[in-house]
């Protein structure tokens, strides 16, 4: 018996029928494999081999209309130029690309109206799902997530009863790691340069700083606390305001962009880092290792949070009936030159005073590369 005649489309291109006939499986089985739904290992092998043999190319538009899927996923973050979001985006894109999909990226400027508008646009099904990393979370956000016809995964802190998948870290614990490190190095006048307190990370990091000082028996001096924004220029300005009224021997900054601004403010004012003032950032982005001196920084696992969020989104698309899931990525501290020296000793004769108020001898410098 001759081979069954292969069916082609009207324009001569191989179709699912063509692939099914060549593979010796049903059209339904071939369609499932070609659309990524699955099948037995043997069926998948046969269908893929047949598709390659006949030169089958899927019609993406027709498949999208039939499945009501676009093959596109979205990521919405405050600022695509911020290194923390760059790391997050790279990790997400790697997972998305491996699934055969593409990633669209939106910069929201941290504006609530922009983020809620994006969430409401999901009703048009322009993407198959979204990962959102908001710095503020409102009832409007939650309502739009609940009403969304496609899955939404949030990177950031949500309430325990939020009905969406969520990947988070613990900023309070991260600040506590920084405080403990500085206290162990003999620092006592520890300042904090934060972002806006009406944001989720700003509020959490402020609370963590105050709790950590209390845990180490250090009385909080409000003159050593300054608030700006999560950007370089605002961080530098905030550090300058703090230095104009107080004399810290260490600064913790709410992200690496602020820390770079603070480092420049300190050096411009004649302070030695870390001899006079130690500096610790947060996020442990590429910036931390690009600076001189290199910045100590608390890693909040940006890439890991992105990877997990992408995996949660893909599994949610595959099985919408899954219960809401919450995953936590623990912080860790990378110790580098900006905080490695212990309590500062006397400045060399003739050097300008940095005003640290300490004349203790300087112990040996700690040589650890990274404290994880």
Of the CA atoms within 13 Å of residue 328, those in its CB half-sphere come to: 9
pTM over 0.95? The answer is no
The reply to whether domains 70-169+303-329 and 171-300+332-341+358-368 share a CATH topology is: yes
Q: Phi then psi for 252, rounded to 5 degrees?
A: -105, 130
* Residue of 370, 360, 364, 361 lying closest to 341 (CA atoms): 364
| Domains of the chain, residue spans | 16-58, 70-169+303-329, 171-300+332-341+358-368
Q: Domain 70-169+303-329 adopts which CATH fold?
A: Rossmann fold (3.40.50)
Structure-block tokens of residue 9: 């489309």
Structure-block tokens of residue 97: 């690309």
User: What's the rounded Cα separation, in Å, for the pair 305 and 327?
Assistant: 9
Residue 320, classified by CB atoms within 10 Å of its CB into exposed (0-12), middle (13-18) or buried (19+), is exposed
Q: How many CB atoms lie within 10 A of CB 129?
A: 24
Query: Of 3.40.50.620, 3.40.50.1240, 3.40.50.2300, 3.30.470.10, which CATH number belongs to 171-300+332-341+358-368?
Result: 3.40.50.2300
Cα–Cα distances in Å, from 326 out to 17, 255, 309, 332, 348? 43, 24, 10, 20, 53
Q: What is the pLDDT along the chain (372 residues), one digit of tens a residue?
A: 344 444 544 556 788 888 899 999 998 888 878 776 667 888 888 988 998 888 887 654 444 444 467 899 999 999 998 999 999 999 999 999 999 999 999 999 999 999 999 999 888 888 999 999 999 999 999 999 988 999 999 999 888 778 899 999 999 999 999 999 999 999 999 999 999 999 999 999 999 999 999 999 999 999 999 999 999 999 999 999 999 999 999 999 999 999 999 999 999 999 999 999 999 999 999 999 999 999 999 999 999 999 999 999 999 999 998 999 999 999 999 999 999 865 545 554 444 433 333 322 222 223 343 332
């Amino acid at each position: 018996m001759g081979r069954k005649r292969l069916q082609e489309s009207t324009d001569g291109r191989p179709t699912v029928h063509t692939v099914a006939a060549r593979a010796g499986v049903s059209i339904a089985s071939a369609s499932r494999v070609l659309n990524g739904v699955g099948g037995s290992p043997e069926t998948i092998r046969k269908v893929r081999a047949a598709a390659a043999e006949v030169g089958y190319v899927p019609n993406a538009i027709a498949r999208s209309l039939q499945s009501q899927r676009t093959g596109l996923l979205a990521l919405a973050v405050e600022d695509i130029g911020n290194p923390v979001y760059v790391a997050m985006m790279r990790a997400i894109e790697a997972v998305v690309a491996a699934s055969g999909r593409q990633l669209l990226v939106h910069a929201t400027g941290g504006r609530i109206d922009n983020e809620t508008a994006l969430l409401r646009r999901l009703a048009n099904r322009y993407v198959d799902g979204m990962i959102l990393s908001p710095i503020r979370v409102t009832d409007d956000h939650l309502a739009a997530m609940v009403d969304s016809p496609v899955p939404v995964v949030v990177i950031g802190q949500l309430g325990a009863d939020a009905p969406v998948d969520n990947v988070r870290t613990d900023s309070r614990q991260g600040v506590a790691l920084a405080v403990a490190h500085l206290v162990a190095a003999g620092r006592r006048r520890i300042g904090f340069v934060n972002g806006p307190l009406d944001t989720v990370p700003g509020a959490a990091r402020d609370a963590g700083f105050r709790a950590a000082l209390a845990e180490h028996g250090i009385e909080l001096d409000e003159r050593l606390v300054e608030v700006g924004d999560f950007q370089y220029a605002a961080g530098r300005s905030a550090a300058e305001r703090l230095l104009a009224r107080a004399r810290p021997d260490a600064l913790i900054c709410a992200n690496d962009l602020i820390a770079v601004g603070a480092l420049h403010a300190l050096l411009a004012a004649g302070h030695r880092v870390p001899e006079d003032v130690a500096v610790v950032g947060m996020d442990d982005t590429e910036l931390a290792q690009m600076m001189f001196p290199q910045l100590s920084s608390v890693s909040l696992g940006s890439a890991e949070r992105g990877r997990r969020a992408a995996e949660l989104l893909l599994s949610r698309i595959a099985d919408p009936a899954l219960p809401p899931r919450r995953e936590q990525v623990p912080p860790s501290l990378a110790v580098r030159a900006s905080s490695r020296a212990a309590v500062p000793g006397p400045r060399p004769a003739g050097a300008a005073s940095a005003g640290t108020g300490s004349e203790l001898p300087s112990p040996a410098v700690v040589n650890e590369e990274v404290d994880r």
